[in-house]
Amino acid sequence: MKFRPFIYGTRGLYLFVAQLLILWLKQRAGSGVSLPIYLLLLAIVIAAQVFRTWAAGFVGTTARGRETHAEVLLTAGPYTHVRNPMYLGNLIITTALATMSGLWFALPIAWAAYAFVYGNVIPYEEAYLRGVFGVEYQAYCRAVPRLLPTLRGYPTRQGVFQLREGLANETAAWFVLPFLLYLFWRM
């Protein structure tokens, strides 16, 4: 589809807008969750963001771009167990933030936004990777699931973790998440 490159280039925006909508609805309804539930969800969000940062540390500077680019097929670190670890992290964060709202309809809103974004982004990236890495990528796809991690792991490990790159790739998330978490608690 011709709009997939555009969605790929603006992918960070959609879930943020969905969370702002949920925050607005939460504020209008005056809902929320108890402190123990909030703290549990907070721990889940932090763990998922650490997981995303770990995955981003293997990607290098390409994670910050608006265009797809890969010099090596990443199969090390979290990519050993799941093909899209950053998107899995986003799903966990999106689910936890929506749950913090205390609104029964927040999860369908969040999941619809997630499905819209990654229902377009993942096939777009997969087509690119299939074109660049061919048979190697097809073997990887057969062995490693898209979003549900496998414990067995991929036997061939390619990619090097660089903490500096992981933090650079996730700078915006590390600044935006505390703001959202504060709003989900205070509003």
Measured CA distances, 102 to 26, 33, 110, 113, 178 (Å): 7, 5, 13, 18, 18
Could you tell me how far CA 57 lies from the centroid of its own chain?
14
Instruction: Please report how many Cα atoms fall inside a 13 Å half-sphere around the Cα of residue 15, on the Cβ side.
Output: 26
* pLDDT value for 185: 87
* pLDDT value for 43: 97
Name residues of the chain where pLDDT drops below 70. Answer: 1, 61-68
Domain residue limits, the chain: 4-24+33-186
* pLDDT value for 51: 97
The class (CATH top level) of 4-24+33-186 is mainly alpha
Q: What are phi and psi of 156, to 5 degrees?
A: -95, 125
* pLDDT value for 19: 93
Placement of tokens 């369908």 in the chain:
108
Q: What are phi and psi of 71, to 5 degrees?
A: -95, -25
DSSP state of 159: -
**pTM of structure:** 0.91
CA 165 to CA 181: how far, in whole Å?
24
Residue pair 69/131 in contact by the 8 Å Cβ criterion: no
CA 25 to CA 140: how far, in whole Å?
42
pLDDT tens string 164-177: 998 988 888 888 88
Residue pair 99/40 in contact by the 8 Å Cβ criterion: no
* pLDDT value for 144: 97
* pLDDT value for 66: 58
